[in-house]
A and B are shown apart, each in its own frame.
Chain A
Amino acid sequence: MFVQQLINGLALGSIYALIALGYTLVYGILLMVNFAHSEIFMLGAFFALGALSLSWVSGLPAFMQLLLALLLAMFASAVTGALIERVAYKPLRHASRLAPLISAIGVSIFLQNLVFLFVTNQSVPFPRIVPLWHLELGNSQISSLQILVIAVSFLLMGFLRFFIQKTSLGKAMRATAGDRMMAEFSGIPTERIISLAFLIGGALGGAAALLNGMYYGSIKYNMGFLVGIKAFTAAVLGGIGNVTGAVLGGLLIGILESLGAGYIPGGSEWKDIFSFAVLILVLLVRPEGLLGERVSEKV
């Protein structure tokens, strides 16, 4: 059962990790928590469903459907993320740090109610797209969906890592995160880099949304809330602002939840408590998170 719970947790954690990246990228550069990110994730799921119900998409073979839905959901979520930044955060760039945070909460409430009122207030079934089969691993089994969720997540996270570490744009992003003013002086268009962070974060959120929809088979206007909190916790656990930390935090929380609910009697009732309890414990010992760097307060 241990391996089985590990597999369950890994799939769950991959989704958390993808979303956590969106939080951490934005925080790394702007030092703000983008509370609207959970709603970008939720919208991403509806975008993906919309893409799948397009008549020219639904006729294609499963693999093409998946690819198109993934690209469309990532694109639409990326644009939404950048749009939110432009409308709700950019005008507040020089306001106090609290202002964009409150603006983010406002955007989150707005988007949730938008879908609630104008799309649907019910759970909507989400197609599985790929056929379901199981791979036996000793006593455990891994389903095709779990393989897909884990594979796509790790692929995207690999891309992101490559992008940040090896490309010049990625270098510019790191520079902006390190010291925005200095980056600006050395000719980096920091405003565009900020937009880029929102674009990438949104795209990863959109991908997570599609995977989440396929994995659980239903989506709803409030689906972002709990997942968003968990992903944010993951980002903080790993050290907010740190990309590898977000992935590590996401996977850890997913696995902890599965093991907690799987092994502790009555554990499923207290499932949500495990991740937050671990967060508190880690923060007590390492306030900067697992991989976070200790930085002095910026002036």
Chain B
Amino acid sequence: MNIKSRAILISLSFAGFLVSCSPQEEVYRLALAVPLTGDIAAMGLGMKRGADLAVEEVNKQGRFGRVIELKAFDDRADPKEAVNVANQIVSDNNIAAVIGHFNSGCSIPAAQVYARKDLLMITPGATNPKLTLQQLEPAWKWNKVIFRVNTTDDVQGQFSANFLFKKFKLKSVAIVHDKTPYGQGLAEEFKKQFETNGGTVLSFDGISVGDKDFKALITRIKTRRPQALFFGGIYNEGGLLIRQARELGLNSAFLSGDALQTNEFLKLAGESAEGSYITNVGVPPEKIPSAQAFLEKFKAKYPGVDIQPYDHYSYEATMIALLALEKAGITQGSKDFNRLKMIEFMKALRYDGVLGQTEFDEKGDTKNKAITVYKVQSGKFIPQDF
């Protein structure tokens, strides 16, 4: 036997081993793909807590013949890593759906990997409109597998612009973004609407993720005397930016998006955070009657842990994915599940949960477009009326 044929034999027997082994596992798996380490791990770990809670609850109910297992993957908020993770996920045939990713920059490329295998993807936090819009492009040759339970940046950016313009009559703004699909996307939507309203955008600058010194930029912005400063980006840079702005005596109103609504931002910015306005998608869980039970369960399971802004989104996404698996994915008597039926099921879904009512439009985005604006007061995010 020569080496080549031996290699073929070995690989064949290995493949046979894989095939004969995997269907006998008595579990259904859900994959959770979020950043669990790295700069924004706080958000990812929170989402994992939300998803864990959902899976635990469903397992207690015993709705499935098998155990549901949540397998967490760490995309480190890195688009390259996200694609690696996506390939790992699609190679596991027992995974019925993906909850993730969190960053728009990660979700957009990873979605294409899932679409090739008709694997249902529900993102609990990616806000860039392009994620679902890419499914309408002619280059998209696959099924529309992407669903999103949160509102998008175009809605959020427009809301922020209207809020500043109509509520406070502010007419000039300086914009800073972090050059990521999320941060820049949000900043551009904000800019568009602010200009449509007749306001003036004095400056539009990018910064690098991981940079710490924004003093030169702030000094320049200060000379333009903006009435407001808008930031599109994540809490690390957001916290440093507002802190340095206040240190340098730039006292304009500060407004930013959902990725700053976390205690990490308050810790980093300290007293400089006071008076900041932060928008977030959806309605705060405290204000949704159906979310009360979730909040209580969360507190019981994780005493002393702060709830992060996307925990209830990942809880909801997990619940919806499991519902799709239960109602459409499983065929009685068969050990496999039908991925295409799950996607079909999602299109017609109307679900009442912790986010209120969730229905998806033709792109896969939720029709629930609520945005809430919070003001930081005495180290807390207080929802504002608008």
Contact = CB atoms under 8 A, between A and B. Distances in A.
Which bucket holds chain B's interface residue count? 20 to 34
Interface stretch (A19-27, A170-178, A266-274): A266-274
Contacts of B270: 125, 217
Contacts of B169: none
Given A8-B215, A218-B268, A268-B207, A121 B37 contact: yes
A136 to B, nearest CB: 10
Given A217-B240, A268-B206, A272-B208, A121 B216 contact: no
Contacts of B48: none
Interface string B196-207: 000000000111
Contact of B247 (A12, A143, A218, A225): A143
A208 to B, nearest CB: 13
A262 interface: yes
Contacts of B42: 122
A99 interface: no
Contact of B211 (A9, A141, A262, A271): A271
Contacts of B223: 1
A39 interface: no
Contacts of A257: 213, 216
B216 A266 contact: no
A263 B239 CA distance: 24
A222 B211 CA distance: 11
Contact of B268 (A8, A121, A125, A225): A125
Interface in A153-191: none
B7 interface: no
B219 interface: yes
Nearest to B36: A121
Interface string A194-220: 000000000000000000000011101
Interface in B205-245: 205-208, 210-217, 219-220, 223, 236, 239-240, 243-244
Interface string A51-80: 000000000000000000000000000000
Contact of B240 (A216, A262, A266, A271): A216
B71 to A, nearest CB: 21
A103 interface: no
A258 interface: yes
Interface in A264-298: 266-269, 271-272
Q: Is the interface of A mostly helix, strand, loop or mixed?
A: helix
Of A5, A123, A260, A267, most buried by chain B (CB within 10 Å of CB) is A123
B207 A218 contact: no
A134 B249 contact: yes
A132 B247 contact: yes
A30 B268 CA distance: 40
A136 B383 CA distance: 38
A65 B41 CA distance: 32
Contact of B205 (A123, A258, A266): A266
Given A141-B249, A216-B240, A272-B208, A9 B267 contact: no
Contacts of B211: 226, 271-272
B240 A218 contact: yes
Contacts of B236: 123, 218, 220
Nearest to A12: B213
Nearest to A120: B41
A222 B249 CA distance: 29
A126 B294 CA distance: 34
A116 to B, nearest CB: 7
B38 interface: yes
B171 interface: no
Nearest to A262: B216
Given A226-B212, A268-B214, A268-B217, 13 more contacts: A125-B267, A125-B268, A125-B270, A132-B247, A141-B249, A145-B247, A216-B212, A216-B240, A217-B268, A218-B236, A218-B268, A259-B216, A269-B206
